Amino acid sequence: MTLHPDWLRPEWQIDGVGALMTTRSGGVSLAPFDSFNLRVAVGDDPPAVAQNQHLLADAIGATPVWLNQVHGANVVRLTTADLEADATVHDADGSVTTEPGIACTAQVADCLPVLFAAPGGRAVGAAHAGWRGLAAGVLEATLAQVCEAARCEPGEVQIWLGACIGPAQFEVGPGVLEAFGASPQANASPRFVVKGAGSWYADLPALARDRLQAAGVHAIGGGRWCTVSEPSRFFSFRRDRVTGRMVAVIWIERSG
């Protein structure tokens, strides 16, 4: 297994669990998708994306299952049936598995990817958390399914937040504050800093931590990278509009 040295890795050490987040580096796509774009629908050359996806699967020794992400809170349980060539692509923003060799994925280019690992690698999960999915409860839904699958409590699950748009770049309107129960009439909030009339800067990783801690999670790492601020390292839709997608991926390793 050869992982690109620029890819991000969780701080945890969990036997039998692999996890990472890709960056722009390590692929074959040409500008503006250079070079490790993992999504066809953004306008990249399909054979290049297919080669990048193959490179990822080869690097991690598992098969990624791609979702049709819809900015909601639906979570699916992945099995070997999802590895079949004619398998249905799920409309979902979270996935969980207990089966080795299946990689749960969250494709992003500013939204927050979140990875979940149960003790002993009994279950793993991934969630795609833009502000809409986060407000809708995608993290709580993914956590609940990981706990159910692994027969564990939220406090036993380890969480890692990948790279996303940072708190100095994520400008939002009053509708986002209202979605999280914050008042647009307030001068300031721990998670929303006033920029100007009718606009605020939102801290997406902190909002995610708040919700996970409220759900009983204790071990939360990552969340310190800004996709917008590092154009040479990360794709960013808000910065570039036409761009690629990275992926955060987690899997249970095959024994032997």
Q: Decide: pTM greater than 0.85.
A: yes
Give the β-pairing of 158-161 and 219-222.
parallel
Closest CA to 73 of 55, 95, 57, 51: 95
Task: With beta carbons less than 8 A apart as the criterion, state whether 97 and 123 touch.
Answer: yes
Residue whose entry in the numeric block shows the structure tokens 């089966």: 99
Q: Name every residue whose Cβ is closer than 8 Å to that of residue 10 and which is 6 or more positions away in sequence.
A: 19, 20, 115, 158, 160, 221, 222
Q: Which of 193, 184, 185, 176 is nearest to 131 (CA)?
A: 176
Reading the chain (256 residues) residue by residue, the pLDDT tens digits are: 579 999 999 999 899 999 999 999 999 999 999 999 999 999 999 999 999 999 999 999 999 999 999 999 999 999 999 999 999 999 999 999 999 999 999 999 999 999 999 999 999 999 999 999 999 999 999 999 999 999 999 999 999 999 999 999 999 999 999 999 998 887 667 899 999 888 999 999 999 999 999 999 999 999 999 999 999 999 999 999 999 999 999 999 988 6
Cα–chain center distance at 144? 17
d(CA 49, CA 35) in angstroms, rounded, equals 10
Which domains are delineated in the chain?
Answer: 17-166+205-252 (3.60.140.10), 168-202 (no CATH)
